[in-house]
Homo-oligomer: A and B are copies of this chain.
Amino acid sequence: MKISTVCEQAGVASTTLKYYIREGLVPEGERVGANKTEYRDAHVQRARLARALIETGGLSVASARLVLAALDAHQDSLAYVFEAAQRALTGGAAAGAAASAQSRKRVGELIGTKNWKATTDNPGYELAAAALDGFGAIGYAPSAEYLAGYADAAATVAATDLGALQSRQDPAEIAELMVVGTVLGDALFAGLRRLAQQHETTLVFPVTEGSQGGGQS
């Protein structure tokens, strides 16, 4: 197919697709003549995936490149693709300051009570521990019930994620959903959490007269 067809089917502008190709996110087409380059369905699929990671998932081009490279190199090992996607996603947040030993220990204990098989080099370990340090910075020590509530919710989402993966047959499609789901699942959850919070907050802390209305600030 022509490059314009790839753009149409993937829903990306021509300049965007050329940029993705130059940055190595989408492979080059095959030259079949002096002025003719041929593209395939795989280009459409890859352009869609790059767009989902960058535009909706908010990944940098460099992070998206890492994730896509892991996807290409390790389609036989989905656990590895998952880990690579997690690393690319978590890099920004966890790169700041290292979490305290105390918070890392607390996350380790939580994993123990849930009986999760997870390793200390999982980037989620550092991310969760850094969040606990942040609570500590305002003098709030999360209770065991608080952590258990979050861990229960995380287990529910992880089981949901894996159920979705098992609904697909083709390993390439499973890997693609794994990568995109890691990125977009965080956004989906954050959105629903805000909606659920609004529901709970208006029940527990009713809005007082005169302070309502999103327009002011």
Interface residues of A, Cβ cutoff 8 Å to B: 11, 45, 48-49, 51-52, 55-58, 66, 69-70, 74, 76-80, 82-84, 86-87, 90, 92-93, 96-97, 107, 110-111, 114, 116-119, 121-135, 137-140, 142-143, 145-146, 149-167, 176-177, 180-208, 211-212, 214, 217
Pairwise interchain contact B154-A193, C-beta atoms closer than 8 A: yes
Bound CA span A133–B201, Å? 28
Q: Which residues of B contact A125 (CB under 8 A)?
A: 191, 195
Q: Which of B139, B150, B162, B212 contacts A192 (CB 8 A)?
A: B150
Contact of A214 among B83, B111, B117, B204 (CB under 8 A): B83
In the complex, A140 Cα to B176 Cα: how many Å?
Answer: 10
Given contacts A149-B160, A159-B200, A217-B69, contact A176 B138 (CB under 8 A): yes
Closest chain B residue to A135, Cβ basis: B184
